[in-house]
Amino acid sequence: MTDGSLLTAELKLAGRLDARFFALLEALQRTGSITRAARTAGLSYKGAWMLLEAACNLANEPLLETATGGAGGGGTRLTQAAQDLLSAWRALQSDHREFLRTQEARLAQQPALQGLLRRMSMKTTARNQFAGTVSAVEAGPVSAQVTIALKAGGEITATLTSAAAKRLKLKKGKEALALVKASAIVLVTDFAGWQLSARNQLAGTVSRIEKGAVSSLVVLTLPGGAAITASVTNEGVEALGLKVGTPATAVFKAYAVLVATQG
């Protein structure tokens, strides 16, 4: 969603003719060469032929015609049927874009729903993403400390540069996302009377363990219903005796938290 759109949909004709196929037809119409058309459409020569052959085999009339030599030179051209198909695609694609724009406008009239979708639309490798509202900002000359009150309850504190806080226009009451990589989280099952310097300590209960070859993803469900995932070595899972129902605390430094805002 690089354009900020909240709605996406893939247009296909006959359940198989998609944007790749029609990009190839357009390139073929311009170049008259399957080799050049494949390169233009970002396909391999073999991949281009596979697309074309699959469509041609299902059509009730030829889509391509081949010319050999002569005054006009050789090459591959679209038949009238293929040109009609391409024209239909262009018209439908235009209507499709207009439909999505209309629905985006409808969403704009529903701020609560639009806000929910925007919070869910970010694509990132950070396993943990929490929606909340900035509850406090303590800015210093070099760094700033930002506290985000989570919508599901609890708080997360992030430390970032003062320049970043200014660029994000962080202030009390602003909606924000807190992002934390699973690898940045340490699980503790027994503090044994010790206190840790890490600012963020979220207590919960193990609700799921996804075991891999080397490490496991351990999911804690927090009291408010939110879930936080930690990446733990399999040896660590065994050493802590982690299993579903085990109480544990997710611990991570404020520097490990990324903050995202809209606008």
Q: Worst-scoring range by mean pLDDT, 28-32, 234-238, 249-253?
A: 28-32
pLDDT number for residue 159: 96
Instruction: Supply 135's token pair.
Output: 């509850």
Instruction: Supply 37's token pair.
Output: 């058309």
pLDDT number for residue 39: 92
pLDDT number for residue 27: 93
Q: What is the mean pLDDT of residues 196-221?
A: 95
**Cα 223 to Cα 251: distance, rounded to the nearest angstrom:** 16
Predicted confidence (pLDDT) at residue 220 exceeds the cutoff of 90: yes
Predicted confidence (pLDDT) at residue 248 exceeds the cutoff of 90: yes
Q: What is the pTM of this model?
A: 0.60
**Cα 81 to Cα 62: distance, rounded to the nearest angstrom:** 7
pLDDT number for residue 100: 84
Q: Is 112 helix (H, G, I), strand (E, B) or coil?
A: helix
Give me the chain's average pLDDT, please.
Answer: 87
Question: What is the domain class of 19-108 according to CATH?
Answer: mainly alpha
Q: In the CATH hierarchy, which fold is given to the domain comprising 122-260?
A: OB fold (Dihydrolipoamide Acetyltransferase, E2P) (2.40.50)
Query: Tokens 């490490």 — which residue?
Result: 215
Tell me which residue of 179, 181, 182, 159 sits closest to 170, measured CA to CA: 159
Q: What is the mean pLDDT of residues 222-235?
A: 93
Strand (E) or helix (H) holding 149:
strand 143-150
**Cα 225 to Cα 40: distance, rounded to the nearest angstrom:** 50
Q: What is the CA radius of gyration of the chain?
A: 27
Q: Where are the domains of the chain?
A: 19-108, 122-260
Q: What is the mean pLDDT of residues 231-259?
A: 96
Q: What is the mean pLDDT of residues 47-56?
A: 86
**Cα 46 to Cα 52: distance, rounded to the nearest angstrom:** 10
Is there a contact between 87 and 75 (Cβ–Cβ < 8 Å)? no
Interval 54-103: pLDDT, tens: 888 777 788 888 876 544 445 888 999 999 999 999 999 999 888 888 88
Predicted confidence (pLDDT) at residue 4 exceeds the cutoff of 70: no
Q: What is the mean pLDDT of residues 186-202?
A: 95
Predicted confidence (pLDDT) at residue 171 exceeds the cutoff of 60: yes
